[in-house]
């Protein structure tokens, strides 16, 4: 049953294989072209892995730079909006053009005339109507 191995373990195994093949080149002459091809492929694989690691680092750094500049831009926008509000005043309707909500007077709800309180429905149980018997004449 094959076991899961990391890329580093596999590359180490490939290095050991090429080293052993090179050490026994005298008894394995037909394996030399395959060993050379494997060495070249392992070298290319290592170069790509190194480039991948470098790109990961560059990507992380660029994300950190973006976050830093983004936070700074937000802080500068707050300062600009504060300056605009200081120049125009907190109630000026031109503030809307800058994405700032001006302070407005509160609208009051119209006052309704007082109404008489309504009585809640009675909670007393009402008796059901009595059943009426039809008039029957006694038979003699």
pLDDT reading at 59 higher than 50: yes
Asked, for residue 93, whether it belongs to a domain, the answer is: yes
Per-residue pLDDT band for 122 (boundaries 50, 70, 90) equals: low
Q: What is the CA radius of gyration of the chain?
A: 45
The pLDDT tens digits for 16-49 are 999 999 999 888 888 999 999 999 999 999 999 9
Asked, for residue 136, whether it belongs to a domain, the answer is: no
d(CA 40, CA 52): 18
> Please, what is the end-to-end C-alpha distance for the chain in angstroms?
107
Tell me the average pLDDT of the chain. 85
**Which residues lie closer than 8 Å to 38 by C-beta, 6 or more apart?**
14, 17, 18
The predicted pLDDT at position 132 comes to: 63
Which range of residues forms the domain containing residue 58?
Answer: 7-98
pLDDT reading at 98 higher than 50: yes
Asked, for residue 29, whether it belongs to a domain, the answer is: yes
Task: Give the chain's domain count.
Answer: 1
pLDDT reading at 1 higher than 60: no
Give the range among 1-5, 47-51, 77-81 with minimum mean pLDDT.
Answer: 1-5
pLDDT reading at 57 higher than 50: yes
Asked, for residue 64, whether it belongs to a domain, the answer is: yes
Asked, for residue 25, whether it belongs to a domain, the answer is: yes
Q: What is the DSSP string of 28-58?
A: -GGGHHHHHHHHHHHHHHHHHHHHHHHHHHH
pLDDT, average across residues 64-71: 94
């Amino acid at each position: 049953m094959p076991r899961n191995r990391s890329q580093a373990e596999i590359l180490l195994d490939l290095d050991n294989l090429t080293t052993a093949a090179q050490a026994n080149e005298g008894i394995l002459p037909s394996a030399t072209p395959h060993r050379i091809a494997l060495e070249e492929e392992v070298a290319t694989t290592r170069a790509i892995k190194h480039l991948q690691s470098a790109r990961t680092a560059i990507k992380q750094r660029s994300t950190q730079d973006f976050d830093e500049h983004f936070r700074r831009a937000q802080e500068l926008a707050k300062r600009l909006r504060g300056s605009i509000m200081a120049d125009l005043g907190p109630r000026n309707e031109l503030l809307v053009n800058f994405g700032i909500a001006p302070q407005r007077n509160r609208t009051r709800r119209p006052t309704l005339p007082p109404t008489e309180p309504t009585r809640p429905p009675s909670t007393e149980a009402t008796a059901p109507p009595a059943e009426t018997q039809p008039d029957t004449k006694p038979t003699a």
